[in-house]
Amino acid sequence: MTIQEEILQCKQQKDAIILAHYYVRPEIQEIADYVGDSFYLSQVATQLKEKVIVFCGVSFMGESAKILNPEKTVLMPDLSADCPMAHMADAKTILEMRQKYDDLAVVCYINSDATLKELSDVCVTSSNAVKIVKALPQKNIYFIPDRNLAHFIAQKVPEKNFIFHAGYCPIHDSMQVSEIMAQKAEHPNAKILAHPECTQNVLEIADYVGSTSGIIQFAKQDDADEFIICTEEGVTYALEQDNPTKKFFYPKTTPVCIDMKKISLEKILHVLRTGEGEIQIEHPFRERAKKPLEKMLQLGIES
């Protein structure tokens, strides 16, 4: 039996389903039941009938799935797969901001750990942040933790007063305009597609800015044959599946999220067999962290 067949068999025996983010290795995306961006996966997680969710991504994603589905078992193939940005805000500053500003909404990028979600009014992802911030009644928006996404949203929603935090994604934030332009020089017809976690300088030279699924959708619908992709290179799997004749390039230093790459087929099989890697979040903390996630899902659909 191949490892893929063993995973399939074990998945059926345990009544499990596999969710995977676009940044994990191609062989994982290939066997996953659902592949998507953070928002899509958090929506899917609320609609599953299976008892066990194996979440192939980083810890804030598995945590969110557990918070939204306390009755389900959520397994992470590698509990050390973590997003550094998810810990780049802090409770003390959130409380200070709440004292300093009236009419404040604490808006928490979903790439945050549960202790930050608990203290926030609403969560957002890169695919719904503009819509949700626009729909909030508050004038003042303290956006945690990502400064780049916050600046991108602030430009789109000028009627709000943004208070920025200094968090960032080490992978997206380190992409260099010079390295992107070096690719552009070699492929002058290529369109530049960027994730809003990139710096302002990169976003300024982009033809399109959007979440990972936004980038994948744009590449599929656009007439261009070549694209320079300014996000994590795991999206290549979906891009090439959707567009077998189009060409995709990356900044010269290929953006790779080492935490996403920790997930392997062997680790998936191991947690399915043993039940190790379970996410545990205690009640009532879990209920408090659930509110901003539920508000995101509600506003993401309604507004």
Residues forming contacts to ligand 13P in the complex (CB under 6 A) are 37-38, 111, 125-127, 169, 172, 197, 211-212
Shortest Å distance, C-beta 171 to ligand SF4: 4
**In the complex with ligand SF4, which residue's Cβ is closer, 76 or 136?**
76
**In the complex with ligand 13P, which residue's Cβ is closer, 112 or 212?**
212
Shortest Å distance, C-beta 14 to ligand 13P: 27
Among 18, 232, 239, 295, binds ligand SF4 (CB under 6 A): 232
**In the complex with ligand SF4, which residue's Cβ is closer, 55 or 269?**
55
Shortest Å distance, C-beta 95 to ligand 13P: 26
**Which of ligand 13P, ligand SF4, none lies near 259, with the C-beta cut-off 5 to 8 A by kind?**
ligand SF4
When asked if residue 37 is in the footprint of ligand SF4 (CB under 6 A), the reply is no
Shortest Å distance, C-beta 199 to ligand SF4: 13
**In the complex with ligand 13P, which residue's Cβ is closer, 199 or 211?**
211
Shortest Å distance, C-beta 186 to ligand 13P: 26
When asked if residue 257 is in the footprint of ligand SF4 (CB under 6 A), the reply is yes
**Which of ligand SF4, ligand 13P, none lies near 38, with the C-beta cut-off 5 to 8 A by kind?**
ligand 13P
**Which of ligand 13P, ligand SF4, none lies near 113, with the C-beta cut-off 5 to 8 A by kind?**
none
**DSSP collapsed to 3 states, the chain:** CCHHHHHHHHHHHHCEEEEEECCCCHHHHHHCCEEECHHHHHHHHCCCCCCEEEEECCHHHHHHHHHHCCCCEEECCCCCCCCHHHHCCCHHHHHHHHHHCCCEEEEEECCCCHHHHHCCCEEECCCCHHHHHHHCCCCEEEEECEHHHHHHHHHHCCCCEEEECCECCHHHHCCCHHHHHHHHHHCCCCEEEECCCCCHHHHHHCCEECCHHHHHHHHHHCCCCEEEEECCHHHHHHHHHHCCCCEEECCCCCCCCCCHHHCCHHHHHHHHHHCCCECCCCCCHHHHHHHHHHHHHHHHHHC
When asked if residue 83 is in the footprint of ligand SF4 (CB under 6 A), the reply is yes
